[in-house]
Structures are given as structure tokens and as C-alpha cells.
């Protein structure tokens, strides 16, 4: 068995993508396997034109409404790419000022600030939530794994920004129900060792996938 592979199974009677972990693999290994799914027009994608199209140039485009708190690796890479310090990056026009005031590092949405002509202008650096979201059915344990990786990465950004004095976690501002849910989750994740992995890592290669997998994957 390979150290990591994707397979197609069935979830709630529908074809679904699953992950098999057979050895030591990193988040980067999973990203490398996952990327072709975005470019695969054979897959059934709920919102793609005709349900079978690549994500590139998609007119429905999940980036129009995505709620993105970048994971810490992506956050640092985007700031470096823009030649900005973390403070400058957060103060520039890329983040939702109202949410920042409330202590949430949410990128400017509706559409995402980085969306240009229906294409992501920072595609290779985009956050994990952007990389892993495809509007396909996922096997339950696969969904849980992706969820756990993405939330840990986003929580690490929040913690990093707090630790560096870049945001006030107790800030006040208008909060939606999703913001409140995130804040609650943030408290749950705050002392999670998986968040520490993101805080200590230089890149996705440094983060072992096994830290996020349920025993049955
Ligand atoms: S960063 Fe790129 S992929 Fe992510 S929501 Fe924005 S435009 Fe879409
Ligand atoms: S994942 Fe997003 S970009 Fe890709 S087909 Fe679905 S809605 Fe379109």
C-alpha cells in the first residue's frame, strides 16, 4: 500500500472521495494528491457547469462567498509574496476590517479580495480551506480529516496573530453566527497539539498527516 492514496467509495448512496493513509505522509503529500481533483472534469461537482468541469474559470465559483481565515503557513507565504510584514499585511486592504476589530483574521469576502476575473490571483499560495474545498461528496472520515487540518491551520493563524500582538482577541465588533461559531471553535482548538504543529512548522512538509487522522483511515 502506498503511503497515501485517494480512492472513490460510496457515502450516503453517492460516489465519494476517500483517503487511505499507509505510511508517514505530510500535509504537503495530501495537497499534491488533492490538486488534480480541482482540474478533473470527470468528477461530479455540485456547482460546476454541467456538474462536470474544472474549477478554473468556474462561474458559480465558491470564491464569491468563501469564508476564509487563512492557515498560518499560507498567511506567512502570502505576506512574503506581497513583500509585507505581518502587521502591514493585516493592515492593508486584504482583511475584513470589521472582523479584525472583533479579533477575527478573515480575508475580505464577497468576492474574495484575491479573486480576479474569476481566477484566484494567489493560487499557489492560497489557504488550505481553498485548496481542499471541492464541491464533491467526501467520505465521512476524509471530510473529518480535511476539517481538522483546515481548522487547526486557521486557529494557528489566530493564535499567532494574538501572540504577536497583531490582533486583539477580545476585540468587539459586529459578529455573524458563523463568526461566533468560529470563536467558539477557536477556544476548543486553542490548546490542541495540532495547532502547535502549525505554529512550529515552516511548511506543509513539516506537518505529519497522522496527527489529524482518525484510527479508521
Ligand atoms: S484566496 Fe483564492 S482560492 Fe481562496 S477564496 Fe480567495 S480567490 Fe478563492
Ligand atoms: S469547487 Fe468551487 S470553483 Fe470548483 S466547481 Fe465547485 S464551486 Fe466551482
Express each pLDDT in 145-169 by its tens digit. 999 999 999 999 999 999 999 998 7
- Cα–Cα distance between 75 and 71 in angstroms, integer? 6
Is the distance from the beta carbon of residue 58 to the nearest atom of ligand 2 less than 6 Å?
yes
Q: Are the CB atoms for 113 and 107 separated by under 8 Å? A: yes
- Cα–Cα distance between 85 and 200 in angstroms, integer? 19
Mutate to test the pocket of ligand 1, among 93, 130, 153 (most ligand atoms within 8 A of CB): 130
Residue 17 DSSP SS3: strand
Query: From the CA of 110, how far away is ligand 1's center (Å)?
Result: 11
Query: From the CA of 26, how far away is ligand 2's center (Å)?
Result: 25
Q: For residue 18, what are the β-bridge partners? A: 7
Q: Are the CB atoms for 86 and 77 separated by under 8 Å? A: no
Question: Phi/psi of residue 116, each to 5°?
Answer: -130, 125
Q: Which of 49-58, 92-101, 174-183, 201-210 has the lowest mean pLDDT?
A: 174-183
Neighbours of 31 (CB within 10 A): 15
Is the distance from the beta carbon of residue 55 to the nearest atom of ligand 2 less than 6 Å?
yes
Q: What is the pLDDT of residues 38-96, one digit of tens each?
A: 999 999 999 999 999 999 888 889 999 999 999 999 999 999 999 999 999 999 899 99
23: left (phi over 0), alpha (psi -120 to 50) or beta: beta
Name the closest-CA residue to atom 8, ligand 2: 61
Is the distance from the beta carbon of residue 126 to the nearest atom of ligand 1 less than 6 Å?
yes
C-alpha cell of residue 152: 487547526
Give the containing element (helix H, strand E) for 64.
none
pLDDT band for position 170 (50/70/90)? confident
Q: Which atom of ligand 1 is nearest to the CA of 126?
A: 1
Is the distance from the beta carbon of residue 138 to the nearest atom of ligand 1 less than 6 Å?
no
C-alpha cell of residue 80: 512574503
Instruction: State the DSSP code for 211.
Output: G
Q: Are the CB atoms for 189 and 195 separated by under 8 Å? A: yes
* Planar angle of CA 208, 27, 63, nearest 5 degrees: 150
- Cα–Cα distance between 110 and 106 in angstroms, integer? 12
Q: Which atom of ligand 2 is nearest to the CA of 46?
A: 6
pLDDT of 188 reads 87
Is the distance from the beta carbon of residue 78 to the nearest atom of ligand 2 less than 6 Å?
no
User: How many residues make up the chain in this entry?
Assistant: 217
Percentage, residues of the chain above pLDDT 90? 75
Is the distance from the beta carbon of residue 134 to the nearest atom of ligand 2 less than 6 Å?
yes
pLDDT of 216 reads 45
Name the closest-CA residue to atom 8, ligand 1: 63
Amino acid at each position: 500500500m502506498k503511503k497515501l492514496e485517494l480512492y472513490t467509495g460510496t457515502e450516503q448512496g453517492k460516489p465519494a472521495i476517500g483517503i487511505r493513509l499507509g505510511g508517514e505522509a505530510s500535509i504537503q503529500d495530501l495537497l499534491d494528491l488533492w490538486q488534480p481533483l480541482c482540474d478533473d472534469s470527470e468528477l461530479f461537482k455540485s456547482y460546476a457547469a454541467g456538474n462536470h468541469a474544472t474549477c478554473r474559470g468556474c462561474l458559480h465559483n465558491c470564491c464569491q462567498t468563501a469564508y476564509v481565515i487563512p492557515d498560518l503557513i499560507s498567511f506567512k507565504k502570502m505576506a512574503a509574496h506581497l513583500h509585507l510584514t505581518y502587521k502591514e499585511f493585516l493592515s492593508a486592504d486584504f482583511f475584513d476590517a470589521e472582523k479584525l476589530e472583533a479579533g477575527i483574521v478573515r480575508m475580505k469576502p464577497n468576492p474574495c479580495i484575491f479573486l480576479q476575473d474569476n481566477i484566484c490571483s494567489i493560487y499557489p499560495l492560497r489557504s488550505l480551506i481553498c485548496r481542499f474545498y471541492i464541491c464533491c461528496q467526501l467520505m465521512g472520515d476524509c471530510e473529518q480529516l480535511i476539517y481538522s487540518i483546515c481548522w487547526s491551520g486557521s486557529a494557528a493563524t489566530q493564535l499567532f496573530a494574538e501572540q504577536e500582538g497583531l490582533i486583539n482577541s477580545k476585540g468587539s465588533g459586529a459578529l455573524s453566527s458563523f463568526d461566533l461559531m468560529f470563536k467558539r471553535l477557536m477556544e476548543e482548538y486553542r490548546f490542541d497539539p495540532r495547532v502547535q504543529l502549525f505554529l512550529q512548522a515552516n511548511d506543509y512538509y513539516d506537518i505529519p498527516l497522522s496527527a489529524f487522522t482518525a484510527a479508521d483511515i
